[in-house]
Amino acid sequence: MKKVISMDEAISHIQDGMMIMIGGFLACGSPHKIIDAIIEKGVKDLTIIGNDTGFVDRGIGKLVVSGQAKKVIVSHIGTNKETGRLMNEGKLEVVLVPQGTLAEQVRAGGAGLGGVLTPIGVGTPVAEGKDHLIIDGKTYLLEKALKADVALIFGSKVDEKGNVYYHESTRNFNPLMATAAEKVIVEAEELVKVGELDPHLVMTPGLFVQYIVKP
């Protein structure tokens, strides 16, 4: 199966109204070139799952500024003033989730689980409207799994089979998201031939990845 495709073809998989996951932590390890191509294409009403909304000019935040997101599910918006402004004006729905809960929701989505039980958020606004379960005397919140139509991830070194190595702190949510979407598109910083990536260093097995773009 040929996985390496053009940016145009990659972007054709992203449609109005989709739920998309985007890797990265404050724009470190985000697929920047794919984000730029989405802005150029102009799809709208996206629901974006990511750690944060980055910055106005870098990372996921660019899709907030461009007005293409109708909803974001993230742990932090404080570094992007546009997210707060659009939220206050009622133009963007913002769901804030504790970072560790978000990671587990995505992991559960990719692992075939319905959700996770976490003690985090009990007694805070995060708990409102959620099922509380008491297990062995301790209270947990039921947090449902998250899945997406498309996951957009960033790989530092990717082979033509879609095996991915992440450099330094670019890993963050990328390997989790790569398991939790119908289609996974990786933006390769460096694309290598099959056999050139040491199997010990592969952090996302290529079976999770449908498409590779090398901008």
Partner 1 sequence: MEAKDIIARRVASEFKDGDVVNLGIGLPTLVPNFIPEGVEIILHSENGFTGIGPAPEEDQVDMDLVNAGGLPVTIIPGGVFFDSAMSFTIIRGGHLDATVLGALQVDEEGNLANWMIPGKLVPGMGGAMDLVGGAKKVIVAMTHTAKGEIKILKRCTLPLTGAKKVSKIITEMGVMEVTPEGLVLTEYNTEYTIEEIQAVTEATLIISKDIKPMF
Positions touching partner 1 (CB under 8 A) are 25-29, 51-52, 74-79, 84, 87, 94, 96, 98-104, 107, 118-126, 156, 166-176, 203
User: Shortest distance, CB of residue 202 to partner 1, whole angstroms?
Assistant: 13
User: Shortest distance, CB of residue 12 to partner 1, whole angstroms?
Assistant: 29
Look at the alpha carbons of 186, 35, 53, 44 in this order and tell me if their dihedral is positive or negative.
negative
**DSSP secondary structure letter of residue 204:** B
User: Shortest distance, CB of residue 37 to partner 1, whole angstroms?
Assistant: 20
Q: Which residues contact 123 (CB under 8 A, 6 or more apart)?
A: none
User: Shortest distance, CB of residue 90 to partner 1, whole angstroms?
Assistant: 14
Nearer to partner 1, 126 or 191 (CB): 126
- Contact between 161 and 194 under an 8 Å Cβ cutoff? The reply is yes
Q: Pick the closest to residue 204 from 214, 1, 170, 18 (CA basis).
A: 170
Nearer to partner 1, 41 or 214 (CB): 214
Q: Which residues contact 10 (CB under 8 A, 6 or more apart)?
A: 34, 37, 185, 211, 213
User: Shortest distance, CB of residue 44 to partner 1, whole angstroms?
Assistant: 24
Nearer to partner 1, 75 or 210 (CB): 75
Nearer to partner 1, 78 or 199 (CB): 78
- Catalogue the E-assigned strands of the chain: 19-22, 46-49, 69-74, 93-96, 115-118, 132-135, 138-144, 148-159, 164-165, 181-192, 211-213
User: Shortest distance, CB of residue 121 to partner 1, whole angstroms?
Assistant: 6
Nearer to partner 1, 68 or 204 (CB): 204
Nearer to partner 1, 62 or 107 (CB): 107
Spell out the alpha helix ranges (H) of 42-122. Answer: 61-65, 81-88, 99-110
